[in-house]
Amino acid sequence: MNTKQQQQELVTIKTGQEGRFRWVAVTALLLAIGAILKIVTPAVGGITPNWLIAMYCIAINLTRVNVKQAAGIGLVTGAISIPISKAALPYANFASEPVGAVVCALLVHTSFSLKLGGVNLRPAITAGISTVASGFTFISILKVVLALPMAVYLYGMMPVVLMAAGINMVITQLLYFPAKRLFGGKED
């Protein structure tokens, strides 16, 4: 075999494999942006948007990863969250973030579409439900581990999760379409 044939074999690309790991690059970029925003965003009334959840919801909506990949995204997000968390028990992110990411992937794969004037609201809905799933998992772990009173859980923590979910819905919806133009995405 001559050198020219060997070189041709080295640059051969199998059809259908070109974008196989595109989801990793898109997710990594969005999570990096989310981490920076989480660090610099101050709390307003004790509430900050969870930028990491918003960003992984955008990534999952864009790339439509499977449930196993979404769980991986959640674990990575949990690991990123630990050193930048403003919470009392940051290690609970290892459980809560995979729950949120898997819920998001499951919702995306239901292929529902709720449109308002031609605008698909799936990014907002998936972000809201995923934030609630992640947040309730987080505060439930926090309640058990720290033995918090039920009143604190119900009236202090649950409203914060619900407000963060509302904020994340708006953020995700607003950032989804520019991200889709930038990174490309599967059709809604």
133 is a domain residue: yes
The overall longest dimension of the chain from CA atoms, in Å, is 77
Residue 154 DSSP label = I
**CA distances to 8, 59, 181 from 177, in Å:** 39, 11, 6
Return the structure tokens found at 161. Answer: 């999760």
- Is position 14 within any domain? no
d(CA 76, CA 83): 12
Residue 11 lies in a domain: no
Instruction: Look at residue 9 in the predicted model and tell me its pLDDT.
Output: 53
The CATH number for 78's domain is: 1.10.1760
Predicted TM-score (pTM) of the model is 0.85
Bridging pattern class, strands 115-116 and 119-120 = antiparallel
89-124 residue pLDDT tens? 999 999 999 999 999 999 999 977 788 888 889 999
- Residues 110 and 32: beta-carbon distance below 8 Å: no
In a domain, 115, yes or no: yes
Residue 140's domain comprises 23-39+47-183
Q: Please indicate, yes or no, if residue 69 is contained in any of the structural domains.
A: yes
DSSP state of 86: -
| Structure-token match 């969005």, residue found | 30
Over residues 154-168, mean pLDDT: 95
Report the number of distinct structural domains present in the chain: 1
Q: What is the pLDDT of residues 3-24, one digit of tens each?
A: 555 555 554 445 454 567 788 8
Interior angle at CA 80, CA 128 and CA 177, nearest 5 = 40
Position 66 in a domain: yes
